[in-house]
Amino acid sequence: MSDFSRQPATVLRESLVKGYSGIHIEQGVPILDRDLNLMHDLLAAGVRSLFARYIGDGVPTGGEDAFAIRAMPTPANNVMITGPGQCLVGGIEVTIDAATDYSSQPGGSPSALTVPVAPQSDPRRDIVYLDIFLVEVDGTPDLDNGRDVGMQTSVRIKPAWIVRVAEDVDIHPVPPPADGHVHYPLAQLLRRRDEATITEGLLFEDRLDQRITDLRRRRLTVASLESRLSRLENALFAPSFTQDVNIGQVKPKFGRVGQEVILRGRNFDKGAIEVLFADVAAQLKPPLTDDTIVALVPGGVTREGVSRNVRITVRNEIGSAISDKVYLVQPIPVFVADAAQQFEPKQGSAQTPVLLRGFNFTPGTAAVTLGDKVAPVQSATYNELRVLVPEGLAPNGDFKFKVSFPAPRGSVEATTTFRVLAG
């Protein structure tokens, strides 16, 4: 029999009312059992409260059969309690080691089940619930400290449980628990008047009411919750390409820088959508819709003036999707899309150096004209050409730069004009 200066449950209850969350022992004073017990109990109560508020009650992933209520294999006024597994209630985890039945529970014998009779409801609604509490373990040989002091100095605490039934209730809530107990609903039973056994299936042929309804919350594990939320996010918000071959993911299948490409899929307007050709971001044409994106082939994909097969990625904050088929980016020369950045300076006299910007300006093959005069190329990279303003153009005239390449690559003209100044 435990021997305390004050009952730990009473001290804990008083401390929680006052908002205490811990205890510090002072030096040079007697050590009281109630202080040490309170230290443990406050910590345990805090952890249980944390679990109850932020995780809740239920059975974990992988143990969904724990404490499920089923009809007996042979019909009887009794129910099976499935196992093994665990259940978390009020921050206390209890374990059922193996399946048992209501009348033969290892934790004790609850009230016997009764057969529904008048004037009880027809059908009668019974709620099967789990009653969880903490018990003290003492008087066992392992607590005798036989190797030293030869006497019991403490007791152990362990969770215990009993499955009970609240009969003829109006709604789901279980009876309020006694002090130190927590209750959790496991199942609802619907029983017709004078039915002596509990069975499963439909209560009425023309209605969906089940004789036994599972009330447990399952797959309570936080990791499982995160995984399920992730799947939900992917379904609702993550972009994905269509799998309908009649629609097609990408059209057309090839093109040059600046050309429109139509992408088809789902969730294409959710979040901050980005489209990449390989690793190069593309400009998008508004508006985006749930199933369609119009993207412009970006420059910089064919960095060395060679055609390139790339996959297209659509992504947002939640996820990404990659096209099944490749898109062929052709190395056709183009000026950069921003007209203000196509060349600089914007004006100058003959022999003024001008920098042209674009893509696929293959070195050694470009011929540049300004108006109808050849602009000598001074240096070239795949993205820049340095040329000189040619002689012979009318002062104060506006002319366009044109960059030409051998067939079949063709030529490209700037979208804005260059002003020729008097020399």
pLDDT in tens, 92-145: 999 999 999 999 999 888 999 999 999 999 999 999 999 999 999 887 787 888
Residue type, 4: F
How confident is the model at residue 48, as a pLDDT? 85
Sequence-distant (≥ 6) Cβ neighbours of residue 145 within 8 angstroms: 151, 152, 153
Is residue 86 within 8 A of residue 93, CB to CB? The reply is yes
Q: Where are the beta strands (DSSP E) in 209-318?
A: 212-214, 240-241, 250-251, 254-255, 260-266, 274-277, 280-281, 283-285, 292-296, 308-310, 312-315
pLDDT in tens, 325-348: 999 999 889 999 899 999 999 999
Model confidence at 172, in pLDDT bands (50, 70, 90)?
low
Of the chain, the percentage scoring pLDDT greater than 90 comes to 70
- What does CATH list as the number for 240-329? 2.60.40.10
Q: Do domains 240-329 and 335-420 have the same CATH topology?
A: yes
pLDDT in tens, 269-323: 999 999 999 999 999 999 999 999 999 999 889 877 788 999 999 999 989 999 9
Residue type, 401: F
Check residues 111 and 52 and name the one with the higher pLDDT: 111
How confident is the model at residue 222, as a pLDDT? 64
User: The domain 335-420 is classified under which CATH number: 2.60.40.10, 2.40.30.20, 3.40.50.1110, 3.40.50.720?
Assistant: 2.60.40.10
pLDDT at 159 over 80: yes
How confident is the model at residue 297, as a pLDDT? 96
pTM above 0.85, yes or no: no
Q: Name which of 354, 361, 359, 357 is nearest 339 in CA terms.
A: 357
How confident is the model at residue 80, as a pLDDT? 97
Residue type, 346: K
Domain boundaries, the chain: 8-54, 69-224, 240-329, 335-420
Of the chain, the percentage scoring pLDDT greater than 70 comes to 97
Quickly count: other Cβ atoms within 10 Å of residue 128's Cβ.
24
3-state secondary structure of 131: strand
